Each structure stands twice: as structure tokens, then as C-alpha cells.
Amino acid sequence: TPAGSGMGGLADYWSAVSNGRVSLAGSQVRGWYGMNVTLAQSRAPGYTRWQRIQDCVGAAQAGGYTVPAGNRVVAVINGQVDSGSAGGEVLLDPLAWNVAFAAHEMGHGYGLGHSFSDDPTYRNVSWAQIGEYDNPWDLMSAMNVYTSASANFGASPPGLNGYQLDRMGWLGRDRIATVGADGATSRTYTLAPLGQNATPGIQLLRIPFDPADLNHYYTVEYRGKSGLDAGIPNDIVLTTEVKNGTSYLLRTRGGNRDPVQTLAANGVTLRVNSLGTTASVSVTTAMPRRCVQGFVWREARRGD
């Protein structure tokens, strides 16, 4: 099968999550190749992930294959030493041979950063930042995500959150609504599940609230337990705060730390009314009353 499509692996994941905009057609799988670096040498202090990847590239070249200029590399090794991304390339040892881990690291190659929560008490591992990897509904929090079983390649991750999809241009403009853009300060929205494109309608709300920083806003999305999101516990509405180019899942404090289903902050109130085939969400905002120099409420269209 060209590029592995139809096998439940990375080709299918990226095609689905990007709404068909990413294809791994043309990818080549080469090897195995013998390396002239031992595991002990590769594990030496100061030996970087980038060096390990270049060792693999060098082994392939010595074995008769040179990576074409401009191509990205995913190097797969059969000894446990390290996994992750470096310089847009990816290294996968046996502990990372699953769709969730590999897709996460490929996400970095596409320019995606980690997702966070706003919980000031959460730290995933000692070297992580506060809140980092704390959105289990988003690929870029792997390996702390809800997963389902792929057909052939272990754990498969959920989709990307709405901010990531919007940033990559993988949501159509007709799937996104900017709250207040029509001048209304209060409205109830019907949200189709993110990633389930057979259901028509809006899939992402943007809620601007900060006149001093128009890249500081809330997003609201509905996630249904189906497709890429088959592994999530239940249907749910998620609200994130986007600031400094990073998304922070809003969680309740203490107890079960559930994602918030109501919000009253920064001049915005939000309430989730119901969940089903679609979700109903009511939002009020003061932003349309504010005169913000340079703020474009409506997208330019030819002829306007």
C-alpha cells in the first residue's frame, strides 16, 4: 500500500487529522543498516539526539542510500537509548514504536508545540514546565493522552486541539466562528464535533477578550467519542486559553480537575447547555462594545 495508507498508522492519522491536507505519499522506508556506533557510545553523557539521528543517516549512506536534500528523516533504531525530535528530524527507539509517540514527534517537525493546562499544581515529569502535557485530548500532550488501539501499530492518539488545527490551516473558515464578530454580545452556538467532518457546522469558537493583545483569546471545541477520538472517556466541550502561541486547557481546581464547563472571566461568560450529535454553548462577551484599533472583526472578501 503506498505510504502505508489503510494500515492504521501514521499515514492514516495525518491524513485524517489534517482533513486530507497532509499526505505521506512518496515516503521511502530503507534499512535496516548496521551502525558503527555502539549503544554504550550513543548513551554517553553529552551525546545529543541530533548526533544519534545523524549516526543513522550516516549508516544509511554507508549502506548505499543517501537521504535526498530537503527531505525529513524519521530514524528508527532497535536499541533502547532515546526517542524524540531534534532539528525537525525524529528518532524512535523500541519504546516509541507506536502511532501516538511517533505522531507527536512528527508534530514537532510540522512546527507544533506542546499543549498545556492552566493547573498551577500539575507537573507531568520533573523536567517539564508547570501544566505541560496536560491536555489528554490533544496529540501534543503525548504520552499523556487518551488513546485507542491502531490496527497494526499500538496506541493511536486523539486528534489535535482546535487551536493547533486552526494554526495549521486545517480547519475551513466556515468551520470557525469569532464570537462578537457580528456585533452580538450574547449568542448560543451549535458546535459540530471537531474532526468529524460529516457533521456540518461550526467546529471552533474563537473568543477574543484582550484589547492589548489580540492573539490572547479563548477557544471552544466539542470532542465526540468517535474516529480519532474513540479513546476519549466521553463526549466533552473543551475551553482553552491561547497566549504567547501556546494553548492552555482550562481545568477546574482540586478534586477531579475536569475541564471547565462554565466560565466567567475577562469579560466573558460561557455555559455548556447540552451534548449530543452536536453541542450547545452559550457565550456573552463585552468585546463588541470596545473600539480596538486594528482589530479586524470580519475577514476581507473579494468585492468588499
Closest CA to 156 of 259, 16, 53: 16
Q: How high is the pLDDT of residue 290?
A: 67
Q: How high is the pLDDT of residue 295?
A: 54
Kindly state the cell numbers that stand for 127: 523536567
Q: How high is the pLDDT of residue 102?
A: 96
Residue 303, pLDDT > 50, answer no
* Gap between the Cα atoms of 25 and 1, Å rounded: 10
Residues 67-106: pLDDT tens digits? 999 899 999 999 999 999 999 999 999 999 999 999 999 9
Q: How high is the pLDDT of residue 36?
A: 92
* Gap between the Cα atoms of 142 and 145, Å rounded: 5
Kindly state the cell numbers that stand for 147: 488513546
**Is the model's pTM score more than 0.85?**
yes
Residues 210-236: pLDDT tens digits? 988 889 999 999 999 999 999 999 999
What's the rounded mean pLDDT across residues 248-267? 95
Residue 230 CB contacts under 8 Å (≥ 6 apart), including other chains:
148
- Residue 175, CA distances (Å) to 126, 171, 192, 194, 195 in order: 38, 6, 9, 9, 11
Closest CA to 54 of 23, 75, 69, 31: 75
DSSP conformation letters of 184-251: -SEEEEEEPPTT-TTS-SB-EEEEE--TT-TT-EEEEEEE-SSGGGTTSSS-EEEEEEEETTEEEE-B
